Structure 1
């Protein structure tokens, strides 16, 4: 399982985080957190994780899923974001494909997932409490029209697949040689009571500083330190780098599936689904490489799929968003 060994080798000596890949399990208009039960949801999403994903999800997801696209086979959580499209000069839309992080093997699309305890170098002094069954949250908002004030929501114009740094809070203005990486850092301070809240954010408090820096301390209103979840999604925009296809005024041509051409509305959803106490064991371990988390091969992860319940084309022609 060379690909997983490489990924885990990036963990620093103090073992402050786990980092792993999850392949795509579905691309469709479903959102069981923000729009539960709605078929279809307002815009198309790319989803990774367990096969219990559907329009209405309640209870202990870790006991309902039977397979996962994630490298840790006990992680049946679901992670999702909007989908990126290219709007051509002729007005047509084309879905931008994803590709896995270079260090995570030949997963089908998907994202790189992080669970950080403090940062890359320290576990910190506080106990890290794993999310309980039924927990869910979001970060960001599709209605954000101005500059993102959340430093955890950023983009990187990739010079190559290993590029890190140079983050911006809106879409890159020029063609990116190796694509665009979208970055989502979730808050890690919990009120200790609510598994969700009406806006899916108030039960958490955001002390994120971005760029994998140490998050700030938790306030008294949200005293429970949880793992800081982060996503990295690699969008392969290279096939659209011909500027003769871009808008005539030279403006950048990429747009989220909820019709955001600036990038400020980027957002992510998280629904906890680790099996039993697997995540807590990982957070309690002083050596995350040897914490007995079960792994699976890329081939096994790629086998895990669900059937689409929303039947519609997703690859182009028009933007898949309901106004």
Structure 2
């Protein structure tokens, strides 16, 4: 408890400014699936979920935080695991998609500001339709979902995009990849129930955003790529949309479902010295699926008034709160990620029809 008290004290001090800045309310797969997106160098120290900023410590705690210390422990911790370092047979793809539509917007964040309705900047929620400031694992399990797979009752959210003062919402199912972030894709296991984390920070600078290990191609619009901020102009054409792809950390400490900064229980893989292999650091040895948001907003033309609720384009970040039906998630992870396939939301790889699908025509377990 003494160690936790010191951590929380430090977070409170470093997070004071961030608490003010957070404010109150007023992607088909590409050829870059390789896990080297972690962008670490051989021998580099393990990346935390984000370096340079922590999320603001909340003045309220989740109902799942039994002793109100900011730590939520896993019901079934994973211990005695060493980072997987073997290189299995090469498979270019090891992924499946969770296709989830926008359900609602709300100035809530049940991870950063639990039980504080209206405390956050505005967020766009996908997946679970019940997500709000009072969300818990149990409330998500009782909710409904906009994801194609009924078993995915997880909550996904990001800052709302505005053009002027008008919200612009993604249309239709958005692409949320579940990939292998480590070279040994056979070591990836499903998320533990109730795991939650924040990817990136609303306070990150443009340079921090560009150098973030989750950065893929930045903001895209038409033929404009690798933009750190939202482009000021995009081609005016029916099929042109604003896009971004951003990857989450995929190595877990095996103990915590959440920590006071909502990030330090997760880590990005690092490159094994002397190789090009991505492995989990010893501090976070458990390989989980790497989530990658691939979001698209129906906006183009003059983009000078386009912004995020959290600020400039480089303030982009997102949250994930796992509430998958455990057998459904395991079937998809085992069949597609561990199996080295490129699957759709059914767990079906069109280039390998002989492998079959993990789910039936209704996106449920057969």
Aligned residue for 1:73?
A: 150
Q: Per-residue deviation at 1:129?
A: 1.4
Question: What are the equivalent positions in structure 2 for 1:206-217 lying under 5 Å apart?
Answer: 206-207=268-269, 216-217=278-279
Structure with greater helix share of residues = 2
Q: Answer with 32-41 or 47-56: which moved more.
A: 47-56
Counterpart-to-counterpart distance in 1, 2:252 and 2:141: 23
User: What residue number does 2:227 align with?
Assistant: 168
Name the SS of the counterpart of 1:131 in structure 2: coil
> Separation in 1 of the partners of 2:241 and 2:146?
23
Secondary structure at 2:331's aligned position in 1?
A: helix
**Is 2:200 the counterpart of 1:140?**
yes
Verify: 1:280 aligned to 2:317, yes or no.
Answer: no
Counterpart-to-counterpart distance in 2, 1:124 and 1:23: 31
**Counterpart among 59, 64, 74 of residue 137 in structure 2:** 59
Q: Distance in 2 between matches of 1:136 and 1:295?
A: 29
CA contact (8 A) 1:35 1:41 kept: yes
Cross-structure match for 2:188 = 128
Q: Which residues in structure 2 correspond to 1:66-215 (within 5 Å)?
A: 67-87=144-164, 93-99=165-171, 107=172, 111-118=174-181, 124-147=184-207, 148=209, 149-153=211-215, 154-159=217-222, 166-177=225-236, 178-207=240-269
* Counterpart Cα distance in 2 of 1:78 and 1:24: 11
RMSD between aligned residues: 3.0
Aligned position for 1:293 = 359
| Aligned-partner Cα distance in 1 for 2:160–2:249 | 22
The structure-2 alpha-carbon separation of the partners of 1:20 and 1:131, relative to structure 1 and needing over 3 Å to count, comes to closer
Q: 1:233 to 1:95 in 2, by over 3 A?
A: same
Distance 2:185 2:147 in 1: 29
The Cα offsets for residues 52-80 of structure 1, whole Å up to 9 and x where unpaired, read as 42222223466322x21111121111111
Give the C-alpha shift of residue 158 in structure 1: 2.7
Runs of 4 or more above 4 Å deviation? 10-15, 294-297
Could you list the per-position Cα deviations for residues 295-315 of structure 1 after superposition, in whole angstroms to 9, with x for gaps in the alignment?
648xxxxxxxxxxxxxxxxxx
Q: Determine if contact 1:158/1:179 at 8 Å carries over to the other structure.
A: yes
Partner of 2:18: none
The equivalent of 1:22 in structure 2 is 100
Deviation at 1:176, TM superposition (A): 4.2
The answer as to whether partners of 1:137 and 1:201 remain within 8 angstroms in 2 is yes
Query: Taking structure 1 as reference, are residues 125 and 180 closer, same or farther at Cα in structure 2, changes over 3 Å only?
Result: closer
Q: Does 1:265 align with 2:315?
A: yes
> What is the count of residue pairs matched by the alignment?
252
Q: Which 5+ residue runs of structure 1 have no aligned equivalent?
A: 1-6, 88-92, 100-106, 247-251, 298-323
Structure 2 residue 298 is the aligned partner of structure 1 residue 236? yes
Q: Give the Cα–Cα distance (whole angstroms) in 2 for the partners of residues 32 and 254 of structure 1.
A: 26
Q: Distance in 1 between matches of 2:110 and 2:125?
A: 11
Distance 1:156 1:146 in 2: 12
- 1:189 Cα deviation after fit: 0.6
Q: Once the two structures are superposed, what CA deviation does each residue of 1:198-252 show, in whole Å capped at 9, x if it has no partner?
A: 111100012389xxxx9831100000110000111111112xx24xxx7xxxxx3
Cα displacement (A) at 1:48? 0.7
